[in-house]
Amino acid sequence: MVTAFVGAWVSYDRSAAAQKLYLLIQAVLLYYALSAQPRENRIWVALGCFGIGVGVAAYFFLTHDFVAIPRKIEIVNIIGRGIMWVRPDLGWRAMPPNYAAGLAAVMAPFGLYLLLSRDNKIVHIPRLNLLITLGLLLILLATLMATSRGVLMAIGAAVGVLFLWIGLRIFAIASRRKTESVFPAVVFLFLLAIVAVLYFGPVITSGSGNAAGLYGNGSRAELFKRSSYLIADFPITGGGLAAFPGLYSQYILNIPINYLPNSHNLFLDVFIEQGLFGGVAFLTLYLASIWRVSNVIVKTMNQRGSLLNWAVLASLTIALVHGMVDDYLYQGNSAALALALLGMVPNPLPVLSDAASERQPKRRLTLALAGALFVALSSVFFQNQIRSVWYSNLGAVQMAQVELNAFPTNQWAGPEIVGRLKAAEASLLTAVEADPANRTANHRLGLIALLRQDFPAAEKYLSLAYRQAPRHRGIIKALGYCYVWLGDFESATTLLLNEIPEAPSELDTYTWWWQKQGREQQSENAARLADSLLNP
């Protein structure tokens, strides 16, 4: 929560950041409200969660346009167009199909719990059972018609966790060994393998629609690699809440238009917008919750309430796996549910002996002293690096608040904003003074020099940044254009030909733009290279 407040303060869009901060405050309050519920209320919490899933599935069918945004399977589009023919025209804004299917799938296990549990009075109401069954069928249909590979793989991962448990139980009976204690560790290894398969398999393939072909192949893996550079730009404060669209467009793609709403990765988005501290905290909460509920399942497998723990584990598994390829629990109004599943994890208080109770304060003091010693030693031995990182982070924030004011502007900025970048430039110069190899500072100093139209200085800074990150698309593009303005066509062609497919069309626009600025040489250079790239 602390890093969320910092993220709201540093964001270039204070209005959008304030809205997101309000949703995250709701998420934290909802977490505490759910975690404080007594055992007898958990059935109603499960019913509420399942109701959200059914509502989202129904919303998908009431709003999705299967004509304008067809799904990957034609039979799905035929059925969808039939639904569109009979449904009312409500004028509601459609939710992306991946988001709708993901959120519905996350809540579906609670419906199964409501049907299968025999310890709750609610299951003895026949009409409610029928409604729950229809709700599950609606969620299943929405999940299938969204044709999201990520959702289906996440559901498969949840089913896989159940089979792991069954396998461990069979092995324990056959070998007469107690293997249940390894269940949480096996779940972790299994989920790690699933994520590895995702990022070395489906997410490598090209994306679809507008995402593919314009600025790359549109794959999740490509987006992940590019977006990761933003973490290093803002490691301490984060780039700011709701700041991903502008940061990615401006510093990775170098375009003044709104291109993507998020990184399509729940956890990566938190790292980018709330920094390393916020990202580590959020990821740790999810991993610790999966470990704890897995551990509780082992200890309470024959007790009342164990079925609900299975529903929570299944929901967390779906959220974690699908969160690696889509972000709907940190995006828009759904951010209010970012911590809801964590609040349903059993949180039994440990029973400590008198001796253990006496040792606990001493352990805490020891850990606190060790932490303080580590920070002190790091400050001494890595003083320059820490100082450089802090000032590059500060400079990047100051620069984004100027450059991305009123984003998207749909036009490139010119020398007129250089005067407002003095504070940012001073911070960035301090960063390179402390560490000349600081990639973030050199990159942004190069961009400021380009705005100032000081191309030799821009080439110096951007070349240093390029040596530190030769795969950074924003640096490649800025340095390539810098070479064009300097008339070094060979170096420019080497950088732009294979890495920047949009370069020919942009150089054509630059031909007109430089002419309007009264810079005939740069206009001629742009026209010459545009022709060379189009007719190699």
Q: Give the pLDDT of residue 179.
A: 63
Q: Residue 191's pLDDT band (boundaries 50, 70, 90)?
A: very high
- Calculate mean pLDDT across residues 9-32: 96
Judged against a pLDDT cut of 70, whether residue 484 lies above it is answered with yes
Region class of 454: left (phi > 0), else alpha (psi between -120 and 50), else beta: beta
Kindly give, in sequence order, each residue whose CB lies less than 8 Å from that of residue 459, ignoring residues fewer than 6 positions away: 446, 479, 482, 483, 486
What is the mean pLDDT of the segment spanning 517-524?
91
Q: What is the pLDDT of residue 33?
A: 95
Q: Which domains does the chain have, with CATH numbers?
A: 383-534 (1.25.40.10)
Q: How distant is the alpha carbon of residue 207 from its chain centre?
A: 17
- Tell me, what's the pLDDT at 213? 57
What DSSP state is assigned to residue 120? S
How many alpha carbons fall within 13 Å on the CB side of residue 384?
7
Residue-level pLDDT at 488: 94
User: Mean pLDDT over all residues of the chain?
Assistant: 89
Residues in contact with 416: Cβ distance below 8 Å, sequence separation at least 6, in sequence order: none
Angle, helices 220-233/183-199, rounded to nearest 10 degrees: 110
> Counting every residue, how long is the chain?
536
Total-model pTM = 0.91
Angle at 325 between CA 215 and CA 210, to 5 degrees: 30
Residue 256 φ then ψ, to 5°: -95, 25
Q: Please, what is the end-to-end C-alpha distance for the chain in angstroms? A: 53
| Closest-CA residue to 272 (of 297, 295, 252, 299) | 252
Higher pLDDT, 379 or 521: 521
> Cβ contacts of residue 383 below 8 Å, gap of 6+?
none
Q: Would you call 28 exposed, middle or buried from its count of C-beta atoms within 10 A (0-12, 13-18, 19+)?
A: middle
Instruction: State pLDDT tens for residues 197-244.
Output: 887 776 666 554 444 457 888 788 899 999 999 999 999 999 999 999
Q: Write out pLDDT tens, residues 135-183.
A: 999 999 999 999 888 899 999 999 999 999 988 888 877 766 666 678 9
Q: Which residues contact 200 (CB under 8 A, 6 or more apart)?
A: none
pLDDT in tens, 252-273: 999 999 999 999 999 999 999 9
Q: What is the pLDDT of residue 372?
A: 73
Residue 357 confidence (pLDDT) above 60: no
Sign (positive or negative) of CA dihedral 259, 263, 269, 271: negative
- Asked if the model's pLDDT at residue 53 lies above 50, the reply is yes
pLDDT score for 302:
63
At 433-478, the pLDDT tens digits run 999 999 999 999 999 999 999 999 999 999 999 999 999 999 999 9
In order, the DSSP letters of 210-231 are: GGSSSSS---HHHHHHHHHHHH
